[in-house]
Amino acid sequence: MTGLALLPQTRRWFIEATVQRVPWTTEQLIAAKHGRTISVVLPALNEQATVGTLVSALRPMVGGLVDELVVMDSGSTDCTAEVASRAGARVVQRCDVLPELPPWPGKGEVLWRSLAATSGDVLVFIDSDLVDFDAGFVPALLGPVLLWHRRRRPDVALVKGFYRRPLRIETDETGTGGGRVTELLARPLLNALRPELAGVVQPLGGEYAATREFLESVPFAAGYGVEIGLLLDVHTRYGLDGLAQVNLGVRKHRNRSLLELGVMSRQILGAALPRCGIAEDGGSAGITQFVQLGARFMPTESVVLVADRPPMRDVLAARSA
């Protein structure tokens, strides 16, 4: 493999805006904040087994590099909120933010509502189901936002993390089989419909940093469509100059069944197609899958929410009008 398939502008971007090994220190980032504040947000739904460890690892950064650490609870029915609070995070229930709007299910909803629940000029999102978590993810993701304005290039609005993703966490002999939706859907889709983004290693990764200015200016796709929606929107708004990516090493998390990944893929496709100029009816979409019952295969239908929340700055402006 030579990499020659990348467009020339993508190849240049990959060389200039991909950090394979983080060169900056936390102390350098703190010095470069210049009054800017940082919010770290962990979206969570029934993650009592892992969220406390993540919060405990991140808590020492609060008061230095990080100004607030928030767990956004998406309606957990276990002890996620209690565990996160005991570990030192501020826990916010999704229904307590913009309570006049009934909540939608899924990750995109709590990330969108987190904009109204936090105050940081830069937000860092970290999935709360990670195992063997490295708190160094946060300073790694913040480097391009806080430091790269010195490079005489436009300010970076979104920094995506990338990593090796083992398929299962139970053994070390698992290679890199995780990220199945990325390889089977997202990457082919971007190569075909938005080839300038073919150099993004993890388009669906849940660890990324972004400026509030950008996040509040764009719609948020429902559920699992949120990551590809933000990626396409930052490219539409700023081009490749608004995007960077940083190698975070290894990311381990809970893997899902193929049926679950099929539903996830339908939601991602529903967020991506309109942003690539292919019209699709909004609202609820369906996906037909098949389950085996004995020797027979039977169809099963799942309803998938395909919709966007409006830019948060418009919502907040209407609220205060």
Domain span at residue 194? 8-256
Residue 192 lies in a domain: yes
Residue 161 lies in a domain: yes
Taking 80 as the threshold, does the pLDDT of residue 62 lie above it?
A: yes
Residue type, position 213, single letter:
E
The domain tally of the chain equals 1
Residue 271 lies in a domain: no
Residue 302 lies in a domain: no
233-282: pLDDT as tens digits = 999 999 999 999 999 998 875 666 778 888 889 999 999 999 999 987 65
Number of residues that this document lists for the chain: 321
Q: Which residues, 6 or more positions from 66, have their beta carbon under 8 angstroms from its beta carbon?
A: 38, 39, 40, 58, 124, 138
Q: How far is CA 164 from CA 16, 155, 171, 180, in A?
A: 21, 27, 15, 12
The confidence score (pLDDT) of residue 254 equals 62
CATH number at residue 134: 3.90.550.10
Question: Quick one: what percent of the chain has pLDDT higher than 90?
Answer: 76
CA–CA separation, 244 vs 227, rounded Å?
A: 14
The confidence score (pLDDT) of residue 112 equals 98
The confidence score (pLDDT) of residue 253 equals 57
Stretch 187-215: mean pLDDT, rounded? 97
CA–CA separation, 143 vs 159, rounded Å?
A: 9
146-185: pLDDT as tens digits = 999 755 556 899 999 999 866 544 444 344 445 789 999 9
Stretch 201-218: mean pLDDT, rounded? 97
Residue 2 lies in a domain: no
Residue 217 lies in a domain: yes
Residue 52 lies in a domain: yes
Residue 299's φ and ψ, nearest 5 degrees, are -75, 145
Residue 264 lies in a domain: no
The confidence score (pLDDT) of residue 171 equals 41
Stretch 113-132: mean pLDDT, rounded? 96
